């Protein structure tokens, strides 16, 4: 996808980490003690990416796919081993102070705020660091705290807040200086559904109102589906897919996993029922004595479920989005890789 | 050159931030009352108490009236001043940088438009302000209880000279701890190194035994190191055992050490950042 002008851009970016390899057992440890073995790990390879102002880009991939490394390269935390990462038209690893005032980073697993004091105290220091004037600071803290429903928690020591409240405070801190680009690395990890939804709504609203560019990494497809317009799938350090989320959703994400638990007196699954699946484009993916899991397009999901009740004595039923891993496997399998880059 | 110019241009901003960082650090330091009392108020007190008992045992067992010109009372006075001075010296717990590097928390500072050194000096400012008050309170409390027996500075000039050396010396200590913390970019044995340094520095600074009691060769070496001029020399200035010429020499040693350590700290930090991968790669 070639978009100009870009607020951030990667050109043939690669990142290689060196990691020590140690043998197993006492002998392996002793060997490693005498002679270190270092193995290179390619975290990113030949990444080309351009993001326009105001876009919300979802960055997904399995563990170790290179999402966080890419975010770190783009924010200038680590240098790329090859290629060039640019943010605001400058080398990302040599950002000026003025550039840094235009960006923000939220790491879901690493608190940006100080653990032992209330969030409002950390916000006050951020206000000075980012040179936010007092009136604007007060207004933004109030507005954002109201939107995220944590107004009465601002004065509470961070360690005494729930995980969801802490993440909301992180987000308030990240948006305090009205950044042009915000990187969020798994912001909803471990949160309850309500907190996740509040954060997604907040991100969508801020993007709409201020045209803030958002780069969001997540393992949760719901984060991506409900927040992003564009999706980048990383696998083993390479871009597997970069394109419009609507198209992808139509092709892959629109699949649902339907898990059916049968009563003891229900008819069991048998091969002659295959024909019943074809009508709905469903596929049996897992079969246990009294539990069946099917995959079906979202649009056929409802009639398919109704038909399942006609076929079986259903004790329980669950419908889930297709897991991310299945999605990636499906994209691999079908060979529909790079839509655009 | 352009980096130096950028640093110079950002200096007013960084200086503006210093008091805010110090205030923030103050809120962190006082978040827990027990921790604050233990860390701020009792810092430096147990060691002189223990050493007084050790000296008492030595004098009693040998029957000596003095050791190399130091009577028991002189040594206790020496320990009182080292206790007050030690309160103002950062220790290895003053920085949590190594921990932040290991756990990936240092990441947050790297995207902020602020130098990590500003955060470092802001913390130092807060620490020094609190510890100076604690040291003054400690000295006043002793003077109130023990009156004329309690050691007094020989002159206001000696006090000013000692304070100057102490101010520069504590900066050297902080930079040394910073450099050792930065080794976490490469090593996973930083805490061992910090502990080793702390013990060696305690010896070099005269906190364990006055340097004057050590052999001449050892004294000669220690007298060109910053720990000696941070603790032992200021105490001897306050006791009237060193004079203005010594002060000038000490000032030169500390100023040189400070500049060299600052340069080393800057290089270590920059090089370390190039190795930094954070957590969650």
Q: The tokens 């390479």 sit on which residue?
A: A238
Task: Nearest chain B residue to A130 by CA: give it.
Answer: B113
Looking at residue A333, its pLDDT comes to 62
State which residue of chain B sits closest to A111, comparing Cα positions: B105
Residue A218: its pLDDT value, please? 85
pLDDT of B198 strictly over 50: yes
Range of the domain at B159: 2-275
Contact A266, A312 (CB under 8 A): yes
B280 lies in some domain = no
Which among A105, A121, A129 is the nearest to B114, CB-wise? A129
Does B53 sit behind a cis peptide bond, omega within 30 degrees of 0 on the bond before it?
A: no
Q: Which residues lie across from A181 on neighbouring strands?
A: A103, A213
Contact assessment for residue A76 and residue A134, using Cβ atoms and an 8 Å cutoff: no
pLDDT, tens digit (0-9, with 9 covering 90-100), for A134-193: 999 999 999 999 989 899 999 998 889 988 899 899 999 999 999 999 999 888 887 888
Could you report the per-residue pLDDT of B199-213, keeping only the tens digit for each? 999 999 998 889 998
At A339 the pLDDT is 45
Task: Please say whether the beta carbons of A116 and A159 come within 8 A.
Answer: yes
Establish if B20 belongs to a structural domain: yes
Residue B219 · residue B211 · CB < 8 Å: yes
Residue in B20, B274, B280 closest to A109 by CB: B280
Indicate yes or no: CB of B277 within 8 angstroms of CB of A130. Answer: no
- Smallest CA-to-CA distance from A237 within A87, A36, A14 is with A14
| Interface contact A130, partner B, CB < 8 A | yes
For the packed helices B190-204 and B156-182, what is the interaxial angle rounded to 10 degrees?
A: 160
Strands (E), A157-312: 181-185, 213-218, 230-235, 238-244, 255-262, 283-288, 291-297
User: Does residue B127 belong to any structural domain of this protein?
Assistant: yes
Query: CB A231: neighbour CB atoms within 10 A?
Result: 23
Angle at B247 between CA B245 and CA B251, to 5 degrees: 120
A72 touches chain B (CB under 8 A): yes
Residue B202 near residue B211, CB atoms below 8 Å: no
Report the alpha-carbon distance of residue B102 to residue A241 in Å, rounded: 33
What rounded mean pLDDT belongs to chain B?
89
Q: Is residue B202 part of a domain?
A: yes
* Interface touch B24/A125, C-beta < 8 Å: yes
Cα–Cα distance, B91 to B40 (Å, whole number): 12
- Token pair listed for A185: 């690395």
Asked if A50 contacts A232 with a C-beta cutoff of 8 angstroms, the reply is: no
Domains annotated for chain A, with CATH where assigned, are: 8-250 (3.40.50.300), 255-321 (3.30.70)
The Cα of A66 is separated from the nearest Cα of chain B by a number of Å equal to: 7
Instruction: Give CA angle at B234 (B232, B237), nearest 5°.
Output: 110
Optimal mutation site among B32, B277, B279, interface A, most CBs of chain A within 10 A: B277
Quote the pLDDT of residue A334. 62
Coil/strand/helix, residue A87: strand
A114 interfacial to chain B (CB closer than 8 Å): yes
Asked if the structure places residue B281 within a domain, the reply is no
From the list A79, A110, A129, which residue is nearest B104 (CB)? A110
- Minimum-distance CB partner of A97 among B27, B105, B113: B113
Residue B69, SS3 per DSSP: coil
Determine contact, residues B190/B105, Cβ cutoff 8 Å: no
Q: For residue range B78-102, what is the model confidence (pLDDT) as tens digits? A: 999 999 999 899 887 778 888 888 8
Which range, A151-155, B135-139, B258-262, is most confident? Answer: B258-262
Per-residue pLDDT, A184: 92
Q: Are strands A213-218 and A181-185 parallel, antiparallel or unpaired?
A: parallel
- pLDDT value at residue B81: 94
What band does B42 get if pLDDT is binned at 50, 70 and 90? confident
Regions of chain A with pLDDT less than 70:
1-4, 247-253, 322-341
Cβ contact, residue pair B10, A97, below 8 Å: yes
Number of domains chain B is built from: 1
Q: Do B105 and A111 touch (CB under 8 A)?
A: yes
Name, in order, each residue with C-beta under 8 angstroms of A119's C-beta and a sequence gap of 6 or more.
A113, A153, A154, A156, A158, A161, A169, A172, A173
Nearest by CB: A100 against B20, B112, B274: B112
Contacts of B114 in chain A (CB under 8 A): 129
Burial of A213 (0-12, 13-18, 19+ CB in 10 A): buried
Q: For chain B, say whether A69 makes contact (Cβ under 8 Å).
A: yes
- Percentage, residues of chain B above pLDDT 70: 98
| Beta-carbon contacts below 8 Å between A and B | 78
Q: For B234-255, what is each residue's pLDDT tens digit? A: 999 999 999 999 999 999 999 9
Contact (Cβ atoms closer than 8 angstroms) between residue A16 and residue A43: yes
Please say if the pLDDT value at position B44 is more than 90: no
Evaluate if residue B20 carries a pLDDT over 50.
yes
State whether B21 and A125 contact (CB < 8 Å): yes
């Amino acid at each position: 996808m070639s978009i100009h002008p870009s607020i951030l851009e990667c050109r043939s970016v690669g990142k290689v980490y060196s990691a020590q390899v140690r043998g197993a057992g006492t002998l392996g440890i002793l060997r490693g003690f005498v002679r270190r073995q270092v193995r290179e790990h390619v975290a990113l390879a030949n990444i080309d990416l351009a993001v326009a102002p105001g876009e919300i880009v979802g960055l997904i991939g399995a563990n170790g796919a290179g999402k966080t490394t890419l975010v770190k390269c783009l924010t200038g935390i680590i240098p790329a081993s090859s290629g060039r990462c640019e943010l605001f038209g400058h080398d990302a690893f040599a950002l000026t102070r003025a550039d840094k005032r235009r960006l923000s980073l939220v790491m879901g697993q690493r608190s940006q705020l100080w653990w032992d004091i209330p969030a409002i105290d950390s916000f006050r220091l951020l206000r000075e660091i980012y040179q936010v004037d007092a009136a604007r600071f007060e207004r933004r803290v109030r507005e954002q705290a109201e939107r995220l429903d944590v107004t009465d928690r601002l004065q509470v020591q961070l360690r005494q807040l729930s995980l969801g409240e802490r993440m909301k405070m992180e987000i308030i801190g990240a948006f305090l200086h009205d950044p042009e680009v915000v990187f969020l690395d798994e912001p909803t990890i471990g949160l309850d559904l309500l907190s996740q939804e509040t954060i997604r709504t907040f991100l969508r609203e801020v993007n709409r109102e201020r045209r803030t560019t958002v780069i969001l990494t997540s393992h949760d497809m719901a984060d991506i589906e409900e927040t992003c317009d564009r999706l980048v799938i990383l696998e083993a350090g390479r871009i597997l897919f970069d394109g419009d989320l609507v198209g992808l959703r139509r092709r892959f994400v629109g699949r649902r996993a339907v898990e059916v638990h049968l009563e003891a007196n229900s008819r069991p699954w048998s091969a002659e029922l295959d024909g019943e699946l074809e009508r709905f484009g469903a596929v049996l993916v897992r079969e246990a004595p009294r539990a069946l899991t099917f995959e079906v397009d979202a649009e056929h999901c409802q009639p398919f479920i109704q038909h399942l009740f006609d076929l079986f004595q259903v004790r329980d039923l669950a419908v889930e989005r297709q897991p991310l891993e299945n999605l990636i496997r499906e994209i691999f399998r079908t060979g529909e890789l790079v839509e655009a880059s | 050159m352009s980096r130096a110019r950028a640093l110079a241009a950002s200096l007013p901003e960084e200086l503006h931030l210093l008091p805010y960082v110090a205030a923030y650090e103050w809120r962190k330091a006082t978040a827990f009352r027990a921790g604050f009392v233990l860390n701020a108020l009792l810092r430096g007190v147990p060691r002189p108490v223990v050493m007084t008992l050790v000296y008492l045992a030595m004098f009693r067992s040998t029957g000596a009236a003095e050791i190399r010109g130091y009577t028991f009372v002189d040594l206790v006075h020496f320990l009182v001043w080292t206790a007050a001075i030690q309160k103002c010296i950062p220790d290895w717990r003053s920085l949590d940088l190594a921990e932040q590097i290991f756990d990936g928390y240092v990441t947050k500072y790297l995207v902020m438009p602020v130098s990590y050194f500003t955060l470092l000096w802001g913390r130092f400012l807060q620490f020094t302000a609190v510890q100076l008050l604690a040291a003054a309170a400690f000295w006043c409390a002793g003077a109130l209880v023990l009156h004329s027996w309690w050691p007094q500075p020989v002159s206001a000039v000696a006090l000013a000279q000692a304070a100057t050396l102490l101010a520069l010396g504590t900066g050297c200590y902080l930079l040394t701890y910073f450099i050792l913390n930065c080794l976490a970019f490469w090593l996973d044995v930083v805490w061992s190194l910090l502990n080793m340094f702390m013990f060696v520095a305690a010896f070099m600074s005269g906190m364990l035994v006055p340097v004057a009691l050590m052999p001449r060769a050892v004294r000669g070496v220690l007298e060109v190191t910053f720990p000696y001029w941070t603790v032992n020399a200021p105490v001897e200035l306050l006791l009237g055992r060193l004079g203005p010429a010594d002060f000038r020499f000490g000032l030169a040693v500390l100023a040189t050490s400070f500049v060299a350590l600052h340069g080393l700290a800057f290089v270590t930090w920059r090089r370390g950042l190039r190795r930094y991968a954070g957590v969650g790669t």
